[in-house]
Amino acid sequence: MSDTETPTGTLRQLWAEDAVKIAALLFVIYAGYLVSGLVLGYSVRGQLNSLASLTFYIGVFATLALALNLHWGYTGLFNIGVVGFMAVGIYVMAFVSKPLYGAGGSAAQVGGLGLPIPVGIFAGMIAAALLGFVVALPALRLRADYLAIVTIAMSEIVRFTFLSSTFQQFQFPTLSGESTRVGFGGGSGLILDFPDPLLAFIDVLGLSGAYDGLVRLVGQVVPNNPDPIVHSLVYGLVLLGVVAAYFWLLKRTGESPFGRVLKAIREDEDVARALGKNTDRFKIVSFMLGCALMGLAGILWLMGQGAVTPNFFRPRLTFFVWIALIIGGAGSNTGSVMGGAVFAAVLYQGPLYFQNVVTSVFQPGDAPGSFGPAISPLLSSADPMPFLLYTLDSVRQLQLVVMGVVLIWLMHNRPQGMLGHRKETAAAIPLGRRGGGAGPESGSSDPDSEPAPQTDGDGTGGAADE
């Protein structure tokens, strides 16, 4: 690190900036997708679609990992009920914002309250935060592993509630004194028949003209029906904006006096309490904030999908978010974003993209329907083709096997995540060896200017990581 003046030194300096790391990672991911698509002769439409869905998943997993990082990375709350808060967010949002039953010739079985979408989003976040309060109030006194079991049980209770026919439809009083038919749709799901949120948002910003121009532009490359492609690409970009907003919010929270108390709680709750902090209150506020952010992430994930079903919110989705957080390294916001991106690109979308590309390029025949017909030709006549086809066809299951193995591998070899030790200390001042060498020696003159506490005393750890 002493060669700060040489060209490699400036490169390293640049690399020490977290924003550069994230940008470089995104660049590598997108380049990887584009190049592999180009090499295999994927169509332009297919390329654009896969980039749009890639952006979408990077966005949602990064937001969720950031919110979870507030719980686990900052406060040390082991929440494995993430899906429960997402579900409450989108369901309450739908409840508030769906048009009234029978209005506008909608085919939906049940209506909503017909309030504007921003009101619905706000209500969804509040509801998720309130559920967080209900869970947190008693559960925070418990050990971490008990909190884990309570939160996952809660997320299942939420799913059963939305699944049950009891709340499929019921009457709800409106302001005018009458009652209207509302509900959560039960197992068959809920149609989200409010106006398209993205278009409404763009309209509010006064950018409809620019959007239409973009549609025409893309229309020159993809002649028929460019609208959905542009829609999903723009939505992905909006999500990346949300990621930036989450990042900023959580960074500010983490560096505030409030955030320092959270980190102190994570390290040693008794010490924090001995210093006169009402740790229960801090934990509850932190938990509720994280839950509201998870609720918003759930809304953003499903708002544009047209419908929502309770079984989308199975516990495995929670574990996806956990894997993303662990890849990036708990305790670091940069790590959360990068973990979300890597998880979305490599583990979540990667295998499906691979399957898509292979099937569209090689056009293989039909895969055997089950393992028996797949394996028997391999055993009897050493013909691996049916087995390979079956494997390709089962990518959705196998990717979960891969995720499990990756999780085990990470916990064995890199429990601190891809960026190395980045846990922020609870202190407001850097705790590293200050007196020892000159300022630049301890490697903190550059990172100090921007992401100060991120690299304190351990600037080499971040920089040495290629």
Contact flags string 92-131 toward another protein, x per CB under 8 A: ----------------------------------------
Give the one residue of 8, 166, 208, 256 binding another protein; rule: CB under 8 A: 166
Residue partners of 86: CB distance under 8 A and separation at least 6? 64, 128, 294, 295, 297, 298, 301, 313, 317
Question: Which region among 115-123, 145-153, 297-305, 452-460 touches another protein (by CB under 8 A)?
Answer: 145-153
- In the region spanning residues 45 to 84, those forming contacts with another protein, defined by CB under 8 A, are 78
- Give dist(CA 183, CA 268) in Å, integer: 44
For the CB of residue 398, give the shortest distance to another protein in the complex, in Å: 6
Q: What single letter denotes the amino acid at residue 215?
A: V
Cβ at position 436, least distance to another protein in Å: 31
Q: Does 10 bind another protein (CB under 8 A)?
A: no
Is residue 97 within 8 Å of 194, Cβ to Cβ? yes
Among 149, 191, 214, 378, binds another protein (CB under 8 A): 149
C-alpha neighbours within 13 Å on the C-beta side of residue 288:
14
* Long-range contact set of residues 48-51: C-beta below 8 Å, sequence gap at least 24: 48/218, 48/222, 48/229, 48/233, 49/229, 49/232, 50/349, 50/353, 50/356, 51/233, 51/236
Q: In terms of CB distance, is 76 or 197 closer to another protein?
A: 76
**Residue 13 in contact with another protein, rule: CB under 8 A:** no
Q: Looking at 2, 8, 43, 164, which residue binds another protein (CB under 8 A)?
A: 164
Buried b (16+ CB within 10 A) or exposed e, 144-169: eeebbebbbebbbebbebbbeeebbb
Q: Is 313 in the site for another protein (CB under 8 A)?
A: no
Point out which span in 44-52, 92-100, 110-118, 143-151 binds another protein (CB under 8 A).
143-151
Range 166-174 contact pairs with CB under 8 angstroms and sequence separation of 24 or more:
168/110, 169/109, 169/110, 172/113, 174/100, 174/113
Six-digit token string for 47: 């390329």
311 binds another protein (CB under 8 A): no
Binds another protein (CB under 8 A): choice among 5, 145, 366, 466: 145
The interface with another protein within residues 415-444 (CB under 8 A) comprises 415
Binding mask 325-364 toward another protein (x if CB under 8 A, else -) reads -x--------------------------------------
Least distance (Å) between residue 373 CB and another protein: 8
Q: How far is the CB of 279 from another protein (least distance, A)?
A: 18
Q: Which of 19, 34, 153, 237 binds another protein (CB under 8 A)?
A: 153
Stretch that binds another protein, among 81-89, 118-126, 331-339, 366-374 (CB under 8 A): 366-374
With contact defined as beta carbons under 8 Å apart, do 385 and 372 qualify?
Answer: no
Question: In 3-state terms, what secondary structure has residue 179?
Answer: strand
> Shortest Cβ distance from residue 211 to another protein (Å)?
40
Q: Considering the rule CB under 8 A, would residue 389 count as an interface residue with another protein?
A: no
Residue 87, C-beta contacts closer than 8 angstroms, at least 6 positions apart? 155, 158, 159, 162, 298, 310, 312, 313
- 13 Cβ neighbours under 8 A, 6+ residues apart: 4, 446
392 lies in the binding site for another protein (CB under 8 A): no
172 C-beta neighbours (distance < 10 Å), count: 16
One residue of 228, 384, 404, 439 binding another protein per CB under 8 A: 404
Closest CB to another protein among residues 36, 309? 309
222-281 positions binding another protein, by CB under 8 A: none
Alpha-carbon torsion (262, 263, 266, 270), positive or negative: negative
Amino acid found at 23:
A
In whole angstroms, what separates CA 448 from the centre of its chain? 28
- Summarize as ranges the residues that interact with another protein (CB under 8 A): 78, 138-139, 141-142, 144-146, 148-150, 152-154, 156-157, 160-161, 163-166, 316, 319, 322, 326, 369-373, 375-376, 394, 397-398, 400-401, 403-408, 411-412, 415
